[in-house]
Amino acid sequence: MGLFLIHIILNGGSVTNAFIIATATLCLYFTIPLSKIPIINYLTMVLLIPIGVALSIDVVYILPLHAFFIMEGAFQLKHREHAIYISSLVFVCTAITLLKFIPFLSLVLFISICISSYFVSRFFWGVKEKGDLYTGLLGEYRTLKRSFVEQEQLARAEERTKMARDIHDSVGHKLTALLMQLEVLSIENNLKGINDIKELARDSLDETRNAVRQLKTTEVSGIQSVIHLIRKLEMESHLQIRFTFEKGVLSLPISNKQSIVLYRVLQESLTNAMKYSDSKEVEVILRQNSLQQVHFIVKNKVLKLKAFEFGFGLTNMMGRVEEIGGELRVNRTEDHFIVEGTFPIKERE
């Protein structure tokens, strides 16, 4: 643009008109990110070329700037819009070349740049469509995998419960009956060695009860179970989750229902971060505040200032936390999207 203005000054052209054209071009270019329909800005910049010719301005030196716009437009405009843009440029430049305002070699170079940009646009948007398709399929795969893991855990829990019930109903009942019969025999007949058999029966019954209790006991409980599940989600989603725990928070006595709510809220927050965050880094903070409440924070970076709305996911999270007597807050700063909540350690009656 500076070369364009210097050229106009050295050749005695209209500096005022050239400055107006240059300013209008730059204004249109820098307002492209704010425009809902960027193609309008690009086409308006195309119209400034014949307007400059009509104002007796030598536009040869402004063509390199438009060449830059052409290449950048390949990544900013959809493939069809970009084709319309470069077609308009080629038409306008061909017309003013025929009118001998632009050298023929400059037109050939300009058309070569337009053709190259066209193929770059096709390649870029083709790759982007494949990337979007891959991301969508990957999201569905992760959803199915999580569903499979949850179903598998449910099936295991049901199987453990069934085994515990069967052991209790069959073996436990028979051992109890055996113990009662041995007690009767020991009272009536005073047989020698009966006490050893009774002791063996008691040991077997105790072992059976211990086995039943082990089958009914889950592997991990409380907040530790939440961390265990989140770690699985981290491996599936390729997120980089940084956990920060205050001393003693992992041993807090929260109920099974509170564990489920905490996991679901963290899961939804991480899913949102995976979908909408500009970074794959997420920070999760768990602590106990002065009101004897579990305090959790999920924070992820955002590079672009975007407005957010309370959709079904956020509304559902708030409802879940409120059911256990807690509170959920969502904040948006210039650099971070933050989901923050609290709930009492002892669930409300």
Span 290-314, pLDDT tens digits:
888 889 888 888 766 666 666 667 7
What's the chain's length in residues? 349
Q: Give the separation between CA 146 and CA 186, rounded to whole angstroms.
A: 57
Angle between helix 256-276 and 312-323 (nearest 10): 160
User: Who has greater pLDDT, 113 or 102?
Assistant: 113
Q: In the structure, what pLDDT confidence band is assigned to residue 37 with cuts at 50, 70 and 90?
A: confident
pLDDT at residue 220 is higher than 50: no
Average pLDDT, the chain: 77
Residue range 84-98: mean pLDDT, rounded: 87
Q: Residue 190: its pLDDT value, please?
A: 57
Angle between helix 222-237 and 256-276 (nearest 10): 20
Q: Residue 219: its pLDDT value, please?
A: 44
pLDDT at residue 71 is higher than 80: yes
Q: In the structure, what pLDDT confidence band is assigned to residue 163 with cuts at 50, 70 and 90?
A: low
What pTM does this model have?
0.41
How do residues 253-278 score in pLDDT, each as one tens digit? 777 778 878 888 887 887 777 766 66
pLDDT at residue 215 is higher than 60: no
Question: Which class does domain 219-344 fall in?
Answer: alpha beta
Residue range 102-129: mean pLDDT, rounded: 86
Q: Residue 348: its pLDDT value, please?
A: 43
Asked if 65 and 26 count as a contact pair (C-beta separation under 8 A), the reply is no
Tokens representing 228 are 């265990």
Q: In the structure, what pLDDT confidence band is assigned to residue 160 with cuts at 50, 70 and 90?
A: low
The amino acid present at 250, given as its one-letter code, is: L
Q: In the structure, what pLDDT confidence band is assigned to residue 2 with cuts at 50, 70 and 90?
A: confident
User: Who has greater pLDDT, 98 or 185?
Assistant: 98
How do residues 331-346 score in pLDDT, each as one tens digit? 887 778 888 888 888 6
Residue range 183-187: mean pLDDT, rounded: 68
**DSSP letter assigned to residue 47:** H
Question: Which residues, at least 6 apart from 57, have a Cβ–Cβ distance to it below 8 Å?
Answer: 8, 13, 14, 17, 18, 21
Residue range 183-205: mean pLDDT, rounded: 65
Q: In the structure, what pLDDT confidence band is assigned to residue 41 with cuts at 50, 70 and 90?
A: confident
Q: In the structure, what pLDDT confidence band is assigned to residue 349 with cuts at 50, 70 and 90?
A: very low
Highest-confidence range of 10-19, 82-91, 312-321, by mean pLDDT? 82-91
**Domain locations along the chain:** 219-344
| Residue 185 phi, psi dihedral angles, 5° rounding | -65, -40
Between CA 113 and CA 120, with CA 117 as vertex, the angle to 5 degrees is: 140
Residue range 215-222: mean pLDDT, rounded: 50
Q: Residue 25: its pLDDT value, please?
A: 84
For the CA atoms of 132, 77, 67, 304, the dihedral, rounded to the nearest 10 degrees, stands at -70
Q: Give the separation between CA 297 and CA 328, rounded to whole angstroms.
A: 10
Asked if 292 and 226 count as a contact pair (C-beta separation under 8 A), the reply is no
Q: Residue 38: its pLDDT value, please?
A: 87
Q: Give the separation between CA 127 and CA 308, rounded to whole angstroms.
A: 28
The amino acid present at 5, given as its one-letter code, is: L
Q: Residue 174: its pLDDT value, please?
A: 62
Q: Give the separation between CA 326 and CA 35, rounded to whole angstroms.
A: 42
Question: Which residues, at least 6 apart from 41, have a Cβ–Cβ distance to it below 8 Å?
Answer: 28, 29, 31, 32, 35
Tokens representing 206 are 């105790």
- Give percent above pLDDT 90 in the chain: 0
Q: Give the separation between CA 39 and CA 302, rounded to whole angstroms.
A: 27
User: Who has greater pLDDT, 53 or 278?
Assistant: 53
Residue 126 neighbours by CB distance under 10 Å: 11
Asked if 74 and 42 count as a contact pair (C-beta separation under 8 A), the reply is no
User: Who has greater pLDDT, 209 or 58?
Assistant: 58
